[in-house]
Amino acid sequence: MRLLRDATAHASLRGMCTTLTAALTHGNDLIIGHIGDSRAYLLHAGKLVQLTHDHTVGGMLVASGTHGPKDQLVIELRGLLFEALGSREGECNPDVLDFLLADEDQLLLCTDGLTDMVDDVDIELILKSARSAKLACRNLVDMALKNGGRDNVTVIVARYSIPLPH
């Protein structure tokens, strides 16, 4: 993998890694590949559902049920990744998830620069109210920046029109 090769070849890049959340759709099938703390969400039947879980120590505490997402320890540990693309060979364990899409579903792929600055309620409202996927992206990025924008903010929105079976 190029990330590992470059990090090994250049001392200044040692420890370099990244997160990745990618989607593949075919008809009404949705496959998500995910590693790190970028996220995938689905707006389905008017409700926002987080499809991925963060590969962070803070996310692990929330998933275990021992801490809530607003707990100070979770907030302090949400940036500490235990899975990332570029981890040492054999230690990179991405999630591969599959879902079924329905007509009018919206898929959101985003970095933690959005989710650290905009809560799920506001994300849902923006997705529901925007006239287009492009406008939804613009409004989500603008809100993250307005709320402080401490990290890069990357947002992709896809809207689906799934014909009913005959």
CATH of the domain at 131: 3.60.40.10
Q: In this structure, is residue 117 part of a structural domain?
A: yes
Write the pLDDT tens digit of every residue in 86-140.
Answer: 766 556 788 999 999 999 999 999 999 999 999 999 999 999 999 999 999 999 9
In a domain, 100, yes or no: yes
Q: Confirm whether 86 is domain-assigned.
A: no
Assigned domain for 60 exists: no
Number of H helices, E strands in the chain: 6, 7
Asked if residue 119 belongs to a domain, the reply is yes
Q: Which residues pair with 23 in a beta bridge?
A: 32
Which long-range contacts does 129-137 make (Cβ < 8 Å, 24+ apart)? 132/159, 133/106, 133/157, 133/158, 133/159, 136/106
CA distances from 56 to 24, 62, 81, 97, 127 (A): 24, 10, 4, 18, 26
Task: Tell me the per-residue pLDDT of 36-89, one tens digit each, with 9 for 90 and over.
Answer: 999 999 999 999 999 999 988 888 888 888 998 888 888 888 878 878 777 665
Q: Is residue 78 part of a domain?
A: no
Give the single-character DSSP code of 85: B
Note whether residue 111 is domain-resident. Answer: yes
pTM, entire model: 0.86
Closest CA to 19 of 164, 157, 154, 149: 154
Specify the pLDDT at position 141: 97
How many domains are there within the chain? Answer: 1
Q: If phi over 0 gives left and psi between -120 and 50 gives alpha, with beta otherwise, what is residue 123?
A: alpha
Residue 31 structural domain: 19-53+96-159
Q: Is residue 85 part of a domain?
A: no
